[in-house]
Amino acid sequence: MYTGIWIMILDVGLFSHIPLLTLLLWRGEERIHVLGWIYLICLTITSAVLPLSTIWQVIKTRSVNRMPFYDPLLTTVGAALWLAYGLLMKNIKIAVPNALSLMFGVIQMAVYVVYKHAAIEDQGDSLQLPECLAGACEVKIENGAGCQNHLNM
């Protein structure tokens, strides 16, 4: 519920006032350019920066279970292609937001790769049996009973 309220405040309150402010503060062609830049930056933030919030969860938990790999990968590939197109066409309005998206996508993928290895090492440690259980199995095996019998009791 709390998140829904913030989404409504930002969507209705902030984004609907941007055209109004540009109408009041700028005139003619300059207004169109300013409005375009504002919405390009907003689009970049929503598509590339917002998924960075999962990075804090990954760093905190040292687990990439809640972070998919293909989403940042496809975002990065798409941003790289659009950046190349913007540079080839010498269109700064395409190049700048996609350069930011590419940077944030690379950051997400780097965090995924770093903590993917940490998660594998942590899983290797967690697969070991506790000492009391391992000792109980050894005792039961020495006495002729199987480990299954001891665990199912």
| Predicted pLDDT at 31 | 86
Q: Could you give the C-alpha distances from 69 to 75, 86, 91, 112, 148, in angstroms and in order?
A: 10, 26, 30, 7, 39
Say which amino acid occupies 45. I
Q: Scanning the structure block, which residue is given the tokens 């590939």?
A: 77
Angle subtended at Cα 48 by Cα 15 and Cα 63, rounded to the nearest 5 degrees: 130
- Percent of the chain residues past pLDDT 90, beyond the cut: 12
Q: Which domain holds residue 123?
A: 2-152
Structure tokens at 122: 């942590």
- According to the model, what pLDDT value does residue 42 have? 77
What percentage of the chain reaches a pLDDT higher than 70?
A: 76
* CB of 48 closer than 8 Å to CB of 79: yes
For residue 149, the model assigns a pLDDT of: 46
CATH number at 135 reads 1.20.1280.290
Q: Is 32 exposed, middle or buried (0-12, 13-18, 19+ CB in 10 A)?
A: exposed
Domains contained in the chain, number: 1
Each residue's pLDDT expressed in tens, for the chain with a length of 153 residues: 677 777 777 777 777 777 888 888 888 888 888 888 887 777 777 777 777 778 888 888 888 887 888 888 888 999 999 999 999 999 988 898 899 889 988 988 888 888 887 755 555 555 454 555 555 554 444 445 545 544 544
Structure confidence by residue, pLDDT tens digits, 13-28: 777 777 888 888 888 8
